[in-house]
Chain A
Amino acid sequence: MTSENASSVEITALGKYYNNFHALKNINLSIPAGKVTCLIGPSGSGKSTLLRCINFLEEYQEGAVEIDGQVIGLEAVGGRKMSARRLREMRRSIGMVFQQFNLWPHMTAQQNVAEALVQVQGLSKAEAARKAVAALEKVGLGDKTESFPNRLSGGQQQRVAIARAVAMEPKLMLFDEPTSALDPELVGEVLTVIKDLASEGMTMVIVTHEMGFAAHVADQVAFLEAGELVSCAPPAEIFRNPSDARIKAFLETYHARNQF
C-alpha cells in the first residue's frame, strides 16, 4: 500500500499536561503507513489521551505529532497553534471512532454518514446520500439506512459510526475502545468490520482491551503505563515474551480476569 491513501504518524517527545497533571511523558512512537497499531495498558495510563493527541482533540504541550511529515495542531514543532482552518483540513483525512459511538441522534444512519460529506467535502446531497448508502452497505447495514440511532443495537450504532468515518476516505483511522460499551455478543460484529478495514491497508491506531483481537490484527502493540510508553513491539513479542515486568503484570491480571 502506498502512502497515497495511508498516512504515517511520527510521535516525538510528546508531553501532555492536564493542568499540573502529567498525563503523557516523553512519548516516542512511529506508526507506519498501512499498518495496525494497537494501544494497550491499564485504565488511566493515557491511551485515550495519546490517541486524541493524534487528531489534536487534545492539545499537547511538548514535542509533536507529525502526520505525513506535517505537525498537527502547531505551526511547527514547539511553535504556535496552527490556524483552525488548517487543523480542519488535516482532520478531514483522519477518521475517529469513539467508545460511546457519538452518533447524532436527530439524524438517520444515512444522514449521519452523509452529513460531513456535504458539510465538509462539499458533495451534493444526492452524491453524499449515495456514498452514505454504499458505506453503510460495506459495514453490513444496507437495510438500516433510514433508522435513527436509538432504534439500532449498540453494535449497529458503532458500525454506523465506523461508516461515518470511513465514508470520508481517511488515510488514518483512530479507534478509542470501539467495543468497550458493547454487550459481549455484539463485540464480534464490530471487530469483524475493523478487521476487514485493516486488510484494505488503511493506517489504524486502535485503543483496545481485547487482547485476542490485538494479537490477531496488530502489526505492532504499544503498551502504556502511567503516561509512559513502556514498549512498542510486534504482538508476538508483547504477548508471548514481554520484556518488561509491568507488561507481564498487566497481562496476568488480564488473563486472571478473563478466566472463570
Chain B
Amino acid sequence: MFSWSTIVENLPYLLQATRFTLLVSGLGMGLGLVMGMVLCVARLSPIRWISRIAALYVSFFRGVPLLVQLLLAYYFLPSIGIDIPPLWAAVCSIGLCAAAYIAEILRGALIAVPHGQAEAAAALGMHPFTIWKRILIPQALKISMPSLVNELIMLVKVSSLVSAVGIVELTRMSQSISAATFRPLEIYIAAAAIYLVINLALAGLGQALEKRLDY
C-alpha cells in the first residue's frame, strides 16, 4: 500500500535537507557563472600563457570526476592546513567544476557570433570594450542560454554527490529516512518530485530569459 502519511510525516525533514541542496547548487551556480566568465575571457585572451592556464584548468576540472574532486578538497585542503567547513569545500568544488563547463559553453557561443558583427562595429570606430558589451555578449548569451540552463540543471542533480563529504542534502536525507521507515518508494518519489520542481523552475526561468533575449 502506498503510504501518503509517510510522505507527509517526513516532508519537513526532506524540505530541510532541500535547503542544503539549494544552498550548495545555488552558490555553486553563482561561483560557476562568475568563474566561468573569467575563464572564458582568459581562454580567448591573445596572451598565450593566460589562455594556456585557462585551458589546463578546463582539462582538469572536466577530466576528473566531481566526486574525486570533492574528496580531494575534503581531505587535501585540511592536510595542508587549510581548514574550511565541508559545506564550503562542497560549494567550491561544485562551482569550480561548473566553471569549466560554463566557460566552454560561453566560448562556443562567442565563437558562433559571425566575425562580421565585430568588424562592422570596429569599422565605425567602436572601442573593443563596447563591442564586447553591446554586440558580442548579448548575442552570445542568447546562443548559449539553452546549454547554460542545461548545465545548471545538471548541477542541481550532481549536488547529491556532496553527501560524500558528510552534507545531508536531499538525496542523503532520503536514504536515511528510507532506511529508518522501510518506505523507500514513497520517500524517493517525494525526493524526485522536489528535484523536478526545482529543475522545472530553472527551466522556466531559462525560457523566460530566452524570450527576453529574443529578436
Contact = CB atoms under 8 A, between A and B. Distances in A.
A102 interface: yes
A68 interface: no
Contacts of A161: 120
A229 to B, nearest CB: 23
A150 B215 CA distance: 8
B39 to A, nearest CB: 24
A105 B124 contact: no
Contact of B138 (A92, A95, A106, A116): A106
Interface residues of A, number: 29
A71 to B, nearest CB: 17
A67 B138 CA distance: 34
Interface in A89-120: 89-92, 94-96, 98, 100, 102-107, 115-116, 119-120
B46 interface: no
B124 A148 contact: no
Contacts of B80: none
A150 B116 CA distance: 16
Contacts, number: 66
Nearest to A89: B125
A90 B123 CA distance: 10
A158 interface: no
Contact of B123 (A84, A91, A104, A106): A91
A119 B124 CA distance: 10
A120 B124 contact: yes
A85 to B, nearest CB: 9
B52 interface: no
A18 to B, nearest CB: 15
Interface of B: 114, 116-117, 119-128, 130, 134-135, 138-139, 142, 213, 215
Interface of A: 55, 57, 84, 88-92, 94-96, 98, 100, 102-107, 115-116, 119-120, 148, 150, 161, 164-165, 168
What are the 6 tightest A-B residue pairs by CB atom distance, in nearest-first order? A102-B120, A102-B116, A92-B125, A116-B124, A91-B125, A96-B123
